[in-house]
Chains A and B, each alone.
Chain A
Amino acid sequence: MNEAGTTLSSVPAPVPARAGAGLKALHYQEIIERQPEIGWFEVHPENYMGRGGAPLRYLERIRQDYPLSLHSVGTSLGSHRELDRQHLKQLKSLVDRFQPGLVSEHLSWSHGYEWFTHDLLPLIYNRESLQRVIANVQQVQETLQRPILIENPSSYLQFRHSDIPEQEFLVETAKRSGAGLLLDINNVYVSCRNHGWDIEAYLAAIPGELVGEIHLAGHTVQAVEGVELLIDDHGSPVCRAVWELYRGTLERMGPIPTLIEWDSNIPPLNQLEAEVRYAGQYLESLGEVQHAAAE
């Protein structure tokens, strides 16, 4: 794929069980100059689907120094319709070019009819949608020639005729498609709070061996007619409750690559780095605990 002499190996650099961060355009230059202690970077491939120019050039440069994960927002796995072939083709060409260690997408849909919402919309959980999602995941994996991870979404509403709990829907999709899971602990927290689901039961239903990546992010709290709804805006530090759930998850599942997502009110790189370091401490202390247990 890549000729000798090009900078990228044709073998993907695995994403390590360390803490990484979402790559933001305003940090490109500083990352290249300063090489911060961040285990790996993740990007939305849709931001690199231009024909050329600066974003691709920067990503190529940063990929030389860091493992990369592609976290798609536009595949629309939950669409009732055929997946968009042009989008899949572009995703495939980015996977070929950047050889990411991980590729993931959300359990949601965004592609409506003749237009694209560019949002992650909520899915009804029933037999019909399960069949559809499994078929769509298989189509993505066949196109990319590799398994992907499916992320649990954050959501604000539920459909009356949903009759499969979200966690079961995810596990069933993964098992039947051969995909793994991306466990977004902030999303679990947000959705469980918004719908009155049992957080511990949700997490307990996710088998550790399916989880290939963890996401952590901040959210905001909005009061709607006296009821608090949590909005997953990725615009603040990870909250205390989510850190605690993260600790429990690591203790049960072992070390897993963990991403700090920060997509709005983006802080300076050193603040993002501090959050990454903080997540890294959980991963490292876990290593020590396990080491001590082994001795």
Chain B
Amino acid sequence: MLPLNKLQQLFCDALRVPGSPPPALLAELVNDGLAEKRFNIYRNNFIVLNGDALADMYPVIRQLVGEQAFRLLATRYVREHPPAERTLLLYGEAFANFLGGIPELAALPYLADVARLEYAWTDAYHAEDAAPLTQHQVAAILPDAFGRVRLVPHPALHCIRSPYPLLRIWESNQPGAPEQRISLDEGSCNVLVTRPGVEVQLQGISDAEATLLQGLQDGATVEGAVAETLQVDPEFDLAAYLGRHLFDGTFCRIRLDPSDQDRKNQPEETP
């Protein structure tokens, strides 16, 4: 008789492996002639249950490769990457890289980016709640101090950069979307993922905007991030960018430079 820890380890390991369960495990089960079949119910549940979680997270991938191929991929993924997460809400983080490494999928080179976008969508859906930046918060900053502030990205924010027309691929594979032909020659795309309230929103942004955002996410000041962005696009227009994105859920707070802490605009200061 095995001690509990050995028995559970044997059981767990056998869930991941196809074919007959190891004799050492079968020897621990009541042998009514069906022991292997009975064990297989658990092995199948393990694959299906976790595969269902992947199917929920990656509906567009499922649509693109078809149900049957998706299930084969999911089974392989579950065996190779059993859940390290305590809940299934965000199971499947490595799926994009996994898809990118499958030679049979080489004809669909955009799949990994689609998977990155779908993971980002779900991550944003469950992200910490935070209100988008408000006019009031911005009005409190003196205009000459704005370059030195840091715009804190909203916890739900993601930006997925892809050499493929990612947003069009995603949109045309949503339920009820009309069938469309998308040429990969349409070129690159950066998808901004935000969740200002409870609904996740996707929109395309330019390379310059994505560069600016990357700088801000890395903790640069507005001035610093703009300087980097001007190297990508000398025509970059910060005012136009802020007009579109300052209040759309991209950012949730403003951090002042310490030297500006004491000289905030305080229009509604109360005693």
Say whether B38 faces chain A, with CB atoms less than 8 Å apart: yes
A87–B88 Cα distance when bound, in Å, is: 13
| Residue of chain A at shortest CB distance from B85 | A116
Say whether A122 faces chain B, with CB atoms less than 8 Å apart: yes
Chain B residues with CB under 8 A of A116: 82-86
B30 and A51 within 8 A (CB): no
A53–B33 Cα distance when bound, in Å, is: 49
CB distance from B176 to the nearest CB of A (A): 17
Chain B residues 70-116 with CB under 8 Å of chain A are: 82-91
| Residue of chain B at shortest CB distance from A227 | B34
Chain A residues with CB under 8 A of B91: 118
Chain B residues with CB under 8 A of A112: 8-9, 11-12, 82
CB distance from A141 to the nearest CB of B (A): 20
Say whether B178 faces chain A, with CB atoms less than 8 Å apart: no
CB distance from A217 to the nearest CB of B (A): 15
Chain B residues with CB under 8 A of A54: 125, 198-199
Given contacts A112-B8, A119-B49, A132-B4, contact A46 B125 (CB under 8 A): no
Given contacts A118-B49, A227-B34, contact A46 B88 (CB under 8 A): yes
Chain A residues with CB under 8 A of B199: 54
A119 and B4 within 8 A (CB): no
The proximity string for A residues 103-124 relative to B, scoring 1 for CB distances below 8 Å and 0 otherwise, is 0000001001111111101101
Given contacts A52-B127, A54-B125, A57-B198, contact A47 B82 (CB under 8 A): no
Say whether A295 faces chain B, with CB atoms less than 8 Å apart: no
CB distance from B181 to the nearest CB of A (A): 33
Say whether B45 faces chain A, with CB atoms less than 8 Å apart: yes
The proximity string for B residues 191-222 relative to A, scoring 1 for CB distances below 8 Å and 0 otherwise, is 00001001100000000000000000000000
Given contacts A118-B50, A156-B41, contact A90 B86 (CB under 8 A): yes
A158 and B50 within 8 A (CB): no
Given contacts A53-B195, A54-B198, A112-B8, contact A224 B37 (CB under 8 A): yes
Say whether B28 faces chain A, with CB atoms less than 8 Å apart: yes
CB distance from B83 to the nearest CB of A (A): 5
B38 and A156 within 8 A (CB): yes
Say whether B167 faces chain A, with CB atoms less than 8 Å apart: no
Given contacts A113-B9, A124-B7, A224-B37, contact A119 B45 (CB under 8 A): yes
Given contacts A51-B155, A52-B129, contact A113 B86 (CB under 8 A): no
Say whether B264 faces chain A, with CB atoms less than 8 Å apart: no
Say whether A291 faces chain B, with CB atoms less than 8 Å apart: no
Given contacts A49-B86, A49-B87, A79-B8, contact A157 B39 (CB under 8 A): yes
Given contacts A46-B87, A53-B126, A53-B195, contact A225 B29 (CB under 8 A): no
B41 and A53 within 8 A (CB): no
Chain B residues 134-179 with CB under 8 Å of chain A are: 155-156
A50–B87 Cα distance when bound, in Å, is: 9
Given contacts A47-B87, A114-B84, A225-B34, contact A124 B4 (CB under 8 A): yes
A159–B5 Cα distance when bound, in Å, is: 14
| Residue of chain A at shortest CB distance from B81 | A115
Say whether B187 faces chain A, with CB atoms less than 8 Å apart: no
A111–B245 Cα distance when bound, in Å, is: 43
B88 and A50 within 8 A (CB): no
Chain A residues with CB under 8 A of B18: none
B8 and A119 within 8 A (CB): no
Say whether B120 faces chain A, with CB atoms less than 8 Å apart: no
23 A-B residue pairs with CB within 8 Å = A49-B89, A50-B90, A53-B125, A80-B5, A84-B86, A87-B86, A112-B12, A112-B82, A113-B12, A115-B84, A116-B83, A117-B12, A117-B46, A124-B7, A156-B38, A156-B41, A157-B39, A157-B41, A157-B42, A158-B29, A158-B30, A159-B28, A160-B30
Chain A residues in contact with chain B, CB under 8 A? 46-47, 49-57, 74, 79-81, 84, 86-87, 90, 109, 112-119, 121-122, 124, 128-129, 132, 156-161, 194, 224-225, 227, 229, 231
